[in-house]
Structure 1
Amino acid sequence: MEGDDSDQKLAATLQAITAEFRRIEEDCIHSGKAHFNAAARWNRYNYLLGLPSVVLSAAAGAAFFKDYPIAAGAMATTVSVLTGLMTFLKPSKIAGAHKNSGDQYLSLRNDARVFREIQLPQATTAQAATEAISSFTSRRNELNQASLQFSRRDFEKARKGISQGEATHAVDHGVL
C-alpha cells in the first residue's frame, strides 16, 4: 500500500515537472526567435548606416579632388553623422549580442526537450527529477537576466512565425 502511495507521488511530481519543462521550452522558443529577429533588425541598421557612410566617404573624396568643395563638405558632414551614429548605437555589437542570446535560448530549449523526452521518464525518485528541473530553471533565469531586451515588435514577429510553424520539426507532426 505504501509503495502505491510513493508511486503516485512520483507520478504526480513527474507530471508537474514535465509541465514545467514544456513551459521552459515554450519560453525559450519565443525568446530565442525574438532575439534572432532583433539581431536581424540590428544587422539591417548596421548596413543602413555603414554602406552609405562608405559610399559617401568615397564620393566626398572624389568631389574634393574634382573641386566641388560644397558637395564634398555636405557628403563629409553626412559621413560624420552616420559614423557617429554607428559609434554611438553599435548596431553590429548589439546584433551579435542578440544572436548569441537566441543561440543560448535554443540550446536550453533543446537540452530541456531531450531531458524531458528521454531522461525524465527514467527518473526513479522525485528528488532527482526536482533537482533536474531546478537546474534548467536556474539556467533560464540567468539567460533572462543576462540578455538584452528585445522589442515588442520582435516578439510579435516571433509569435507569428511560431504560430505558422517556423519553430517546429517535421517529426513533431509525424512527417518523418
Structure 2
Amino acid sequence: MHIKRGREHDGPRSCTMSDADDVHDEVDEDDLSEVGVRESVVGQDERIVDLLIDWKHRVEDRKRAHLLAATRLSARHYQLGVPAVVLSAIVGSTVFASLDTSIELGAKVAVGITSVLAAVLAALQTVLRYAERAEKHRIAAAQYNTIHRHIELSLATRELDALVEEAADIRARIDELETGAPDLTARAWREARQPARSFIGSRAVPSR
C-alpha cells in the first residue's frame, strides 16, 4: 500500500546566527554614520528649543518685576504729590484770607509749618523722581513683553533649523535691553518669581 505524503510546510524559516551575521555585514558604515549625525542634529535642535523656553521664562519674570516696580513707584509719586498739592492749596488760601484780617499767632505758626511741609514734599518728589523712574520701568516691561511674544511666535511657527539664527538675534536683543533697563530691587524680583509656572515641563517642539 502506497502512503501519500502530505505537502511540506512553506512557512517562514527561522533566522539562525549565521543569517544574522550576514545581515549585519550588509549594513553600510555610511548608513550608521548618517544615523549618528541625524541623532546629533535632533539633540542640538531640542537644546535650542529648551534654551528659548528658558529665555522666555526669564523674560517673563523681568517683565513682571518691572511692572511691579512701576506700580510701586507710581504709588509713591502720588503719596508725595497729593499731600504736597493739598498743603500748598491750604497755605495759599490761608494767606489770601489773611490779607483783610489779622490772624492769631497760632494760626501763623500752623500756616508756616504747613508751607514748610508742602515745600519738603515737593522737594522730595523732585529729588526722588518717582514718576520718571516708574515710566522707565513701564517702558522696560513693554520691551520685555515684546521679546516674550517674539519667542513664543518663533517657537510656534519657526522650523528647528531656523531657530539657531533666531536664538542669536533674541540673545542680542535681551543683552541690549538688560544694559539699558533700570535696576530692580530684591523685593520686586522676589514678588515677580512667586507665581507658579504650570507650563514648565510641557512644550511643543516645532516639526522639521
TM class by shorter chain equals 0.7 to 0.9
For residues 49 and 39 of structure 1, what CA distance do their matches in structure 2 show? 16
Alignment counterpart, residue 44 of structure 1, candidates 75, 89, 99: 75
Q: Identity percentage over the alignment?
A: 22
2:90 is aligned to 59
2-structure distance, mates of 1:12, 1:26: 21
2:157 corresponds to 1:118 = yes
Which position in structure 1 is the counterpart of 2:56?
25
**CA distance, structure 2, for counterparts of residue 7 and residue 113 of structure 1:** 26
Which residue number in structure 2 is paired with residue 15 of structure 1?
Answer: 46
Kindly provide the amino acid, as one letter, of the partner of residue 141 in structure 2.
G
Quote the residue 2:144 is aligned against: 105
SS at 1:148's partner residue? coil
Q: Aligned partner of 1:97: which letter? A: K
* TM-score normalised according to structure 1 size: 0.84
Amino acid at match of 2:82: L
Q: Is the 8 A contact 2:154 2:163 kept in 1?
A: no
CA contact (8 A) 1:61 1:72 kept: no
Which ranges in structure 1 are unaligned for 5 or more consecutive residues? none
Q: Check whether the contact 1:98–1:148 (CA below 8 A) recurs between aligned residues.
A: yes
Alignment of 1:94-173 (within 5 A): 94-119=133-158, 122-124=159-161, 128-160=162-194, 162-163=195-196
Matched residue pairs, number? 161
Determine if contact 2:69/2:188 at 8 Å carries over to the other structure.
yes
TM-score, structure 2 as length reference: 0.71
Which AA in structure 2 matches 1:69? K
2:70–2:137 CA contact under 8 A, matched in 1: yes
2:140 and 2:69 map into 1 onto residues whose CA distance is 10
Deviation at 1:159, TM superposition (A): 1.5
Distance 1:24 1:61, change over 3 A: same
Q: Which runs of 4+ in 1 moved over 2 A?
A: 1-10, 65-69
Q: CA contact under 8 A between 1:46 and 1:86: conserved in structure 2? A: yes
Q: Which has the larger radius of gyration?
A: 2
CA distance in 2, matches of 1:117, 1:156: 30
Change (3 A) 1:75 1:164: farther
Q: Which runs of 5+ in 2 are unaligned?
A: 1-30, 99-106, 204-208
Does the 8 Å CA contact 2:84/2:122 hold for their aligned counterparts? yes
Q: Greater relative contact order: 1 or 2 (C-alpha under 8 angstroms, separation 6 or more)?
A: 1
